[in-house]
Amino acid sequence: MNHRHAILAVLLLSFLVVGCLEEPPANTTQTPSPLSGQATGSGLVKLPTSLTVPSPTVAPTAAPTTTTSATATPAASSTPVATATPKATTAPKGKAATAIACGLVSSNLVLAGDVIMPSSDDACLVVAKDGVTIDCGGRVLSPVLAGTGTGVFVNGYKNVVVKNCALQRFAVGIKFSNAENAFATGNTVSDFSAGTGVLALASKGVNVSGNTITITEGSTPTAVGINVTDSAGAEISGNTIESGLTGVFADRTANIVVNGNSVRKAVSGLLVFHSDNAKITANTIKQSSFAAFALPASGISASGSTTTIQRNVVEGQKNAIECDGVNSVIEDNKALSSERGIYSAGANTEIRRNDASFNNLGIIVNGASSIVDSNSAWGNREGGIVLQSPSNTVSNNVACSNTNADINAKIVPQVGTNTNKCQANRCYPSDAAMCNPSGGCLQTC
């Protein structure tokens, strides 16, 4: 590389650092055209040094259009110019487009290159209009200072889509606040050890689907993969989350759907609190790191009423599945190799067709008037099915090879149909209905 090329390389690198790389067109007096694939106009305005979040009722205004000349290159015949209102660049014919800067997004945007957020900005891409789609096309957004800022911010807008973005090293990858019908799909969020991958606050109808979130393990985990709070009707589906404190956290989010997610190596998998009518289905939670950090942990924990927990696979947790809500359904789950398999504290809960095996305790029922039917509890080290509340209907369960007791009714009376299968003299007390005759179930294992 000769001296002139070295100077040009330094100039280009300096433009990248401030998030505004432009490749000069053949005629430097011409205005760069909009990025291919965008609506007319780039829809991008450079953020002010101190970010003011745009209001959905006030149209964003462009920054002044005065220009500042970059440092001249002695051997160059024309000097690149950095404008105060950078737009997405379009490369000369036959070449790929380069990069754009952080800024306000007021129309559909397709990134043509990686974007670096300056340290002076609080957020990189800030949506400023309803109905905007941001398609990063796999391009990387990252801050100059690791662990700072937000990659994409949507505040108070409707029908916004953020997709195919690679968000690295941000404190928050994607943030929805007071948004409605907002989508985050097909994104990757990585290289962060604190903060949140995707965050939704006080929003409606948020959909977070098909994202991959990888949290950097720290000495004490604090990061959360997906956090949805006060956002009724949210759907969290098909995401892959690795490491961190919690894979998915939801609070005060009624009618939430958490479906088909995979969480590995996090302390806790899915925590859904104070959220009535939640549906938690077909998720996989494995390889919890709770033991390494001596932290309380759950694979799935839910506390809202009328919660449905179905077809999940949870392994290697402190508490595999917990449900405190009344009138809930826990069915067709696998709760395996954990300290406690299934713990139900809400009254009138249906616990059906679950496999709670190879735990310390298989199934613990602490809510009265529940139905415990057709479950399997094998090889648990302290007990198979433990009833700590009265008036439960216990039928058609298979509880075998458990230490201490296959079925143990610590509180009576219970309502049994005498159709449970367990080993002789492993059902207590002998006068409980499901233990007849005389300390054993109707059939042996």
Please state the three-class secondary structure of the chain as a single string.
CCHHHHHHHHHHHHHHHCCCCCCCCCCCCCCCCCCCCCCCCCCEECCCCCCCCCCCCCCCCCCCCCEEECCCCCCCCCCCEEECCCCCCCCCCCCCCCCCCCEEECCCEECCCCEEECCCCCEEEEECCCCCEEECCCCEEEECCCCCCEEEEEECCECCEEECCEEECCCEEEEEECCECCEEECCEEEEECCCEEEEEECCECCEEECCEEEECCCCCCCCEEEEEECCCCCEEECCEEECCCEEEEEECCCCCEEECCEEECCCEEEEEECCCCCEEECCEEECCCHHHHCCCCEEEEECCCCCEEECCEEECCCEEEEECCCCCEEECCEEECCCEEEEECCCCCEEECCECCCCCEEEEECCCCCEEECCEEECCCCEEEEECCCCCEEECCEEECCCCCCEEECCCCCEECCCCEECCCCEECCCCHHHCCCCCCCECC
The answer to whether position 54 is within a domain reads no
Give Cα 133 to chain centroid, integer Å.
20
pTM over 0.85: no
pLDDT of the residue at 439: 54
pLDDT of the residue at 53: 41
User: Per the structure, how many domains does the chain have?
Assistant: 1
Distances (CA, A) of 214 to 47, 136, 269, 284, 291: 28, 18, 14, 16, 20
The answer to whether position 19 is within a domain reads no
The answer to whether position 442 is within a domain reads no
Place of tokens 């430097």: 28
Per the DSSP assignment, residues forming a β-bridge with 318 are none
As to burial, measured by CB atoms within 10 angstroms (0-12 exposed, 13-18 middle, 19+ buried), residue 370 is buried
The answer to whether position 315 is within a domain reads yes
Compute the distance between CA of residue 340 and CA of residue 335 in angstroms, rounded to an integer.
Answer: 8
Side chain identity at 171, as an amino acid letter?
A: A
The answer to whether position 259 is within a domain reads yes
Q: Render each residue's pLDDT in the chain as its tens digit; 445 residues.
A: 443 344 334 333 333 333 333 333 333 333 333 332 333 334 454 443 333 344 444 333 333 333 333 333 333 333 333 333 334 333 333 332 334 789 999 999 999 899 999 999 999 999 999 999 999 999 999 999 999 999 999 999 999 999 999 999 999 999 999 999 999 999 999 999 999 999 999 999 999 999 999 999 877 899 999 999 999 999 999 999 999 999 999 999 999 999 999 999 999 999 999 999 999 999 999 988 766 676 778 999 999 999 999 999 999 999 999 999 999 999 999 999 999 999 999 999 999 999 999 999 999 999 999 999 999 999 999 999 999 999 999 999 999 999 989 999 998 888 877 788 888 788 888 777 887 665 566 656 7
The answer to whether position 388 is within a domain reads yes
pLDDT of the residue at 438: 55
Q: pLDDT tens digit string along 352-402?
A: 999 999 999 999 999 999 999 999 999 999 999 999 999 999 999 999 999
On whether the CB atoms of residues 103 and 123 are closer than 8 A, the answer is no
Per the structure, the complete domain to which residue 309 belongs is given by: 107-422
**Residue of 210, 285, 207 whose CA lies nearest to 244:** 285
Distances (CA, A) of 169 to 67, 99, 116, 142, 173: 31, 19, 11, 6, 8
Give the CATH number of the domain where residue 141 resides.
2.160.20.10
For the record, the structure tokens of 103 come out as 């800024």
The answer to whether position 397 is within a domain reads yes
The answer to whether position 345 is within a domain reads yes
pLDDT of the residue at 77: 34
pLDDT of the residue at 163: 98
On whether the CB atoms of residues 223 and 215 are closer than 8 A, the answer is yes
